[in-house]
Amino acid sequence: MLFGTGAFAQTQVANIAAFNALPDNTIATITGEVTVTHDQGSNLFVQDETGWLMMYESGRQASCNSGDKITGLTGEFLTYEYDRGFVESVQPEMMSSQVYDAITPGVAPAAPFVVNPSTLTFNDYNRYVAFENVEIESDVAYNSAAAVDGVILTDAGTMKIRNHWYYNTTLNINDKSFAAGDKVNCKGIVRSYGGIIQIYLTDIELAEELGINDITTDGCQITGYFNLLGQKLNDVPEKGVYIETYSNCPPQKMVK
């Protein structure tokens, strides 16, 4: 991995949203800080408060961890219409010249965007997302020998959740089996196959099967609601897993 000032880039932009708005084949430096969400060989996925993108670096010599911060990321903006042999909607990415001003180790893994899977579109391509308390449609067993497509039920139908990076033994996916009807929490990168959105998993676990009426909180004074990432919620979610906190009782994980 090379480090430099990015001085050869004639264009500078503040963030990922501005980078994604560039014309094709523009070499630019993102002056703001971006966060690594997933490092997978030649593909490095990053995000900031404005957007997300995949950076392609053939022959990259050093790896990053989820949560690492990169400043001065420089590369060539391009879009493509090709993904595993199928014509897709045009998607943006960065062809990197392996130039950065600095990489700072993260203090914690990157936080995914917690979303409803039925709301995802091609505008979310390369986004790091999390689903909470989604239902498995049919039995699935993930393993480290081959990519396996699991399927979840969504408000709009179904969606594949795939262990595409099955060979990456650091991911919390393989050697896990789920039965039809199981509720799971999962994280991954939004990708596609044949023009259909799917998730390349980085993590999957059984959701806590703790019903909202299965615990006693009599006399507990509620102080707030949080999602599983510790982010404060304004109110009880209509559906999903959340944490309820109290001033005089231990916090409880709830499912609706």
Q: Report the residue count for the chain.
A: 256
Confidence of residue 123 (pLDDT cuts 50, 70, 90): confident
Three-class SS state of 76 = strand
pLDDT in tens, 200-232: 999 999 987 544 444 556 678 888 887 766 677
Name residue 232's beta-bridge partners.
Answer: 226
Average pLDDT over the chain reads 83
pLDDT in tens, 67-105: 999 998 888 888 765 444 334 445 667 776 557 778 889
Confidence of residue 3 (pLDDT cuts 50, 70, 90): very low
pLDDT of residue 198: 95
Question: Left if phi > 0, otherwise alpha if psi is -120 to 50, otherwise beta: which for 6?
Answer: left
pLDDT in tens, 126-152: 999 999 999 999 999 999 999 999 999
φ/ψ of residue 247, rounded to 5: -85, -20
Q: Which two tokens stand for residue 230?
A: 């510790």
Domains, in order of start, for the chain: 11-104 (2.40.50.140), 113-206 (2.40.50.140), 222-255 (no CATH)
Three-class SS state of 201 = strand
